[in-house]
Amino acid sequence: MQRQGSIGGSAAFRIRVAGSVLLVAHLAFVAWLMLRPLNVPWVMPANLRPLAGVRADLALGWPEAARRIGEGLALLAPLGVLLPMAHGRLTASPLASLIRTAAAGALVSLAIALLQTGVPGRVVDVDSLLLNTAGVTMAHLAFVPAARSRLRRRKGLERRAPAPQQTPQGRPPTIPRVEVTP
């Protein structure tokens, strides 16, 4: 039995499978990239003050700041598209989908930060959690609503306003009466 609101037939299955495979591949890449030990002579202390690292990046000048902030935004940004793609619903509420995707992105970023505490040379940075979540949210807002709208139009699922009720001219609409007896 097919879920209500999902894409029809085998196309839905292909989109979900492609989304799931790409999601797993991206998460494997992120885990490999962020959980490798670093061979450094010393490490900075953990940054637990929100936006302190962003301020430090901005103090380095705009090219270096743009690179560092862009890396933080781009690391998990594909999750903003891949998570709804793996879910595969066209008629999902846009706000619920955004909240669900942003929360999942924040949890993945938090899991990476917690796993980094056991990796030599890596430290926890609360700014990476904020930037990763913002990247997931921005990617979702940039691509998912337009893609869902396009797929709904192609499948003929576009939401339409209900037609107004027509009554014969000169006669008021009839209201059914309900009698109450003791």
**The token pair that represents 147 in the structure block:** 């893609």
Question: What is the pLDDT, as a whole number, of residue 90?
Answer: 80
Question: What is the pLDDT, as a whole number, of residue 15?
Answer: 86
The secondary structure of 155-166 as a DSSP string is HT----PPPPPP
Question: What is the pLDDT, as a whole number, of residue 154?
Answer: 82
pLDDT at 2 exceeding the cut of 60:
no
Asked if residue 161 belongs to a domain, the reply is no
Give pLDDT tens digits for 39-91.
Answer: 988 888 999 999 999 999 999 999 999 999 999 999 999 999 999 999 888 88
Asked if residue 70 belongs to a domain, the reply is yes
Asked if residue 182 belongs to a domain, the reply is no
Query: Which domain does 21 fall in, by range?
Result: 9-155
Q: How far is CA 127 from the centre of its chain?
A: 18
Give pLDDT tens digits for 96-140.
Answer: 999 999 999 999 999 999 999 999 999 999 999 999 999 999 999
- Radius of gyration from C-alpha coordinates of the chain: 24
Count of domains for the chain? 1
In angstroms, the Cα distances linking 89 to 4, 76, 151 are 9, 21, 10
Count the residues in the chain. Answer: 182
Distance of alpha carbon 55 from alpha carbon 59, whole angstroms: 6
Any residues with CB less than 8 A from the CB of 133 and at least 6 apart, and which? 76, 102, 105, 106, 109
pTM of the predicted model, to two decimals?
Answer: 0.78
Asked if residue 78 belongs to a domain, the reply is yes
Asked if residue 38 belongs to a domain, the reply is yes
Q: Which residues of 146-160 are buried (b: 16+ CB within 10 A; e: fewer)?
A: eebeeeeeeeeeeee
